[in-house]
Amino acid sequence: MKNIFKFLFLVGILFTSCEDAYNVAPDDEILEANAITSVADLEKAALGVYGFISGSNLINYSSRFTDDLRLPADNRGQGVQVHTWNITAGNGTTTSLWSSLYNVISRANRVLDVIDGIPANTPEEVLSKSRIKAECIGLRAMCHFDLLRAFAESYEDSSSVLGVPNINSVVVFEQPTRNTVAENYAFINSDIEMAMGMLDASFTDNTRLTSTALSALKARVALYQGQYETAISSATDVIGAVELATTTEYADIWTDASEAEVIFKLKRTTGDGAVGTIFQDTNGDIFFFMSDVMVFHVLNNSFAGDPRFGAMIDLNVSTLGEPVVGKYLGTDANPGLNDIKLFRASELYLIRAEAYARSGQFEMAAADMTALRAARGSAGTTSYSSEEIALFDIIEIERRLELGYEGHRYFDMRRQGLSLSRNEIDCEAAAGACSLPSDDFKWIMPIPQAELFANENMTQNTGY
């Protein structure tokens, strides 16, 4: 086996049996020996960067850690450590998440390391080269933000709180330290701005980073950072460019039959990892049911004819007595295999509504929620009288209903400072993991033990 990246601060991956982290197919290698010499080679290398984005790892952790799932008594061990909060620095899920994101960053940096020296011989190649550079910079920003969300000790824009290492070059023998959260935000936002300045608005492939996708990322980052004016303006840019799905189109989003409101997705084809296997095996065995709390939430907050009800719950199986997650059913030929939607227009309505509410603009927040609910079949009008009421409605109700099982719940609970409480039904097979206070250290993922072994400059999060 050959270590392609020589990422010394990630060399501990060798001890996790995560072979894909350092071995890739020859056609996908980005090495000096396979020097990139043309724009066509750059295009191929860029696809290699996209191909290493998991997408499902955040959905996995968020769904299993929180109150969205219930562990069946006959679960064979899948996800039990995360679901029961038995999380250590050696946990495979958090280690895989760390290594996967930094490997995407490594690949992007390898492309960026050579791209300026590649000749562009036609106007089309000049545009392609600029686009590829922007995509790699934007993907680097997105991955750093996901690392911050998972491993930073706080989302506060602070120069005294530890975040994650900012990596903007090819790392070989260096052993980076953790940057502060403030430094992470500055680095991420700088990359986003740089990428946005290089992308042509005419590029609209939603399986790649576009200017609209970067605006969506900018809005999401700004919401976490507490920069609400930026969140509002960036979300507005996206909302003006991408319409919400109709009630008819919505269900087709989850069978990949419709591109409605999908801003950026990871295309999945036969042979790729199936996101639906987070919840059930390809043979139909159930790893996790929807939680009783989530079912209650969906039943009590869906509108008459709300398409989200049928998308959230697999009615074909759930009628047998147990609620099964329905967003990633795949096909008979490829069970559980679906495209992974990283940004949808509905999230931008939710971001803008929340930013309005946190800024005291309750009428504007209510207008966004009225618009979103109308697209989902509601004929009612929303109104808010206080920030507390608005945020509960937007985050605890609508974000759960709209973005359920898309990787948001864990992060929403973290940034809201919410405690986790499972009811008696959801706790029955959870080995006593029924409540987790908001100040428990387990809300923050541990820096992987393999990373600590390999990098003497790395420090662990509190509690581990």
Alpha carbon distances (Å) from 398 to 28, 296, 298: 41, 14, 10
pLDDT (average), residues 265-289: 94
pLDDT (average), residues 156-182: 95
Residue 6 has pLDDT above 70, yes or no: no
Q: How would residue 321 be classed by pLDDT, with cut points 50, 70 and 90?
A: low
pLDDT (average), residues 205-217: 98
Is 390:373 a contact under the CB 8 Å cutoff? no
Q: Is beta strand 289-290 parallel, antiparallel or unpaired with respect to 420-421?
A: unpaired
Residue 320: what pLDDT? 52
Residue 31: what pLDDT? 52
Q: CB count, 10 Å around CB of 3?
A: 14
Tokens representing 173 are 């023998």
Residue 16 has pLDDT above 50, yes or no: no
Choice between 15 and 222, residue whose per-residue pLDDT is larger: 222
d(CA 135, CA 129): 10
Residue 135 has pLDDT above 70, yes or no: yes
d(CA 331, CA 113): 41
Is 62:279 a contact under the CB 8 Å cutoff? no
Residue 27: what pLDDT? 45
pLDDT (average), residues 350-379: 97
Measured in degrees and rounded to the nearest 5, phi and psi for residue 134 equal -65, -40
d(CA 4, CA 31): 8
Measured in degrees and rounded to the nearest 5, phi and psi for residue 274 equal -95, 115
Alpha carbon distances (Å) from 378 to 102, 171, 234, 297, 303: 42, 52, 26, 17, 6
Tell me whether residue 254 is exposed, middle or buried, using C-beta atoms within 10 angstroms of its C-beta: 0 to 12, 13 to 18, 19 or more. Answer: buried
pLDDT (average), residues 208-230: 98
- What proportion of the chain, given as a percentage, has pLDDT over 90? 86
Residue 119: what pLDDT? 95
Alpha carbon distances (Å) from 157 to 102, 152, 364, 368: 22, 11, 26, 27
Residue 11 has pLDDT above 90, yes or no: no
Residue 462: what pLDDT? 96
Q: What are the structural domains of the chain?
A: 1-200+432-464 (1.25.40.390), 268-338 (no CATH)
pLDDT in tens, 187-204: 999 999 999 999 999 999
3-state secondary structure 180-239: EHHHHHHHHHHHHHHHHCCCCCCCCCCCCCCHHHHHHHHHHHHHHHCCHHHHHHHHHHHH
Tell me whether residue 183 is exposed, middle or buried, using C-beta atoms within 10 angstroms of its C-beta: 0 to 12, 13 to 18, 19 or more. Answer: middle
Residue 390: what pLDDT? 98
Residue 32 has pLDDT above 60, yes or no: no
Is 308:322 a contact under the CB 8 Å cutoff? no
Residue 74: what pLDDT? 77
For tokens 């940057």, the residue is: 179
d(CA 157, CA 142): 17
pLDDT (average), residues 172-176: 87
pLDDT (average), residues 417-438: 96
Mean pLDDT of the chain: 91
Residue 98 has pLDDT above 60, yes or no: yes
* DSSP state letters, 293-356: HHHHHHHHHPPTT-HHHHHHB-HHHHTTSS--B-TT-B-SSSBT---EEEEEHHHHHHHHHHHH
Q: Give CA angle at 391 (389, 393), nearest 5°.
A: 70
pLDDT (average), residues 247-251: 95
pLDDT in tens, 50-94: 999 999 999 999 999 999 999 997 788 999 999 999 999 999 999
Choice between 315 and 360, residue whose per-residue pLDDT is larger: 360
Alpha carbon distances (Å) from 74 to 78, 81, 171, 430: 10, 15, 44, 12
Residue 26 has pLDDT above 50, yes or no: no
Is 152:162 a contact under the CB 8 Å cutoff? yes
Residues linked to residue 280 through DSSP beta bridges, in sequence order:
286
pLDDT in tens, 287-315: 999 999 999 999 999 998 999 998 999 86
pLDDT (average), residues 204-210: 97
d(CA 461, CA 93): 16
Residue 9 has pLDDT above 50, yes or no: no
